[in-house]
Amino acid sequence: MKIVVTGGAGFIGSHLVDELVRTGNEVLVIDHYQREKLRFENPSATIHKISFGHESLEQIFAAERPDAVVHLAAQISVTASIVDPLYDAQRNILESLRLVQIAAKAGCHRFIFVSSGGAIYGDHPVRPTPLLDDAYPLSPYGVAKFSFEHYLEGFKEQYGLKPISLRFANVFGPRQQLKSTGEGNVMAVYLARIIQGEPVVIFGDGSATRDYVYVRDAVSAIIAALASDVTGIVNIGTGIGISVQEVYDTIMDIHGDRHPLIYEPFRKGEVFHSVIDPATGRESLGWEAKVSFREGMEKMYAWFMEHFGKRN
């Protein structure tokens, strides 16, 4: 299969490209390389160092005629979407819609959109949160993700595509970096502070929770979607809430000593609890998470220390 992966030199995308290449697929990477962070290139993939909104994209698709697209690239910062919602909509709705049109025109039959369960469901009272059609996102980022999912649903008949949107919980693991990119989750923040010798900060009392999916499991969900004809929206999570305090305690246990810790007031606008019910992933794609939070955190810690610093 010939597959286009937008954002294919970044965190999740590079892991996906490695697996797709390993299993004998022809892979084309679309990645703009503009953020100040490491990029991860697979030498067997064809790499186009352009944005997915670049004017040359139509010519690339017309020449390559891919079978499928995995759309990972996006404006990825919730905070940035609040500051500049027009730019967020430009990237996450308008340019993404153009990508769909280009893919359909080139004869692509499968479109996989990597969405966000956390941003779409927000601080939902039902946890784990099941698949919901009537979610009310709180940020422009979540609204854009939610909107694009529904555009895709409408394109089934219009373009003859088979689209699927995967609402991921928080993905973590090796190659996730902390720069001014919006990519780093709380683990990346804490690991960076440990390396830099700065105190770790917990906002609130440490009881806020998130659902964490290890990157290898995230990749396996995308692979399962590529192998299926399932369309619509699917939740991808573990159904397990891990508190901020548990994250800190796990990292400290792996690190081997207690790093300075500061508690500060909970930040307004932050989601307090986000846990995703994985039932639709299991029922629709036969997918379930395999890697425990502890095992994934050990791998992420080892990678961070190897690439960004030594233990303090």
pLDDT at 250 over 80: yes
What are the CA-CA distances from residue 190 to residues 46, 178, 185, 194, 297 (Å)? 35, 10, 9, 6, 12
Q: Which of 87, 121, 141, 190 is catalytic?
A: 141
Peptide bond into 260 cis (omega under 30): no
Q: Read off the pLDDT of each residue in 192-196 and give the average, rounded to a whole number.
A: 88
| Mean pLDDT to the nearest integer, 172-181 | 76
Q: What is the pLDDT of residues 35-74, one digit of tens each?
A: 657 889 999 999 999 999 999 999 999 999 999 999 999 9
**According to the model, what pLDDT value does residue 311 have?**
47
pLDDT at 35: 64
The residue ranking higher by pLDDT, 32 or 178, is 32
pLDDT at 94 exceeding the cut of 90:
yes
248 vs 215: CA distance, rounded Å: 19
CB proximity list for 189: less than 8 A, separation 6 or greater: 178
Mean pLDDT for 212-232 is 97
Asked if residues 147 and 116 have their Cβ atoms less than 8 Å apart, the reply is no
As a whole-number percent, the residues of the chain with pLDDT over 70 amount to 95
Nearest to 39 by CA among 75, 30, 1, 22: 30
Using CB atoms within 10 Å of the CB of residue 229, give its burial: 0 to 12 exposed, 13 to 18 middle, 19+ buried: exposed
Whether pLDDT at 159 is above 60: yes
The CATH architecture annotation of domain 2-172+212-239+279-285 reads 3-Layer(aba) Sandwich (3.40)
Domain ranges of the chain: 2-172+212-239+279-285, 186-208+241-275+292-308
Reported confidence tier of residue 289, pLDDT bands at 50, 70, 90? very high
Q: Are 135 and 146 in contact (CB under 8 A)?
A: yes
Structure confidence at residue 184 (pLDDT): 57
Amino acid (1-letter code) at residue 173: G
> Does an H or E element contain 213, and which?
strand 212-214
Q: What is the DSSP string of 25-46?
A: -EEEEE----SSS-----TTSE
Where residue 205 falls among pLDDT bands split at 50, 70, 90? very high
pLDDT exceeds 50 at position 4: yes
Q: Facing residues of 233 across strands?
A: 165
User: Rounded distance, CA 150 to CA 137, Å?
Assistant: 14
Ramachandran sector of residue 2 (left: φ over 0; alpha: ψ -120 to 50; beta: rest): beta
pLDDT digits (tens, 9 = 90+) for 96-106: 999 999 999 99
Place of tokens 């369309």: 231
Q: What is the mean pLDDT of the chain?
A: 92
Judge whether residue 297 has pLDDT over 60.
Answer: yes
Amino acid 270: pLDDT: 74
Percentage of residues of the chain with pLDDT beyond 90: 76
Q: pLDDT at residue 253 above 80? A: yes
Q: How many residues does the chain have?
A: 312
Please state, in angstroms and rounded to a whole number, the distance separating the CA atoms of residues 177 and 191: 10
Confidence of residue 312 (pLDDT cuts 50, 70, 90): very low
- Residue 235 pairs in a beta bridge with 167
Annotation says 301 is catalytic: no
Look up the CATH architecture of domain 186-208+241-275+292-308.
Alpha-Beta Complex (3.90)
Residue with tokens 């703009």: 32
Mean pLDDT of 199-207: 93
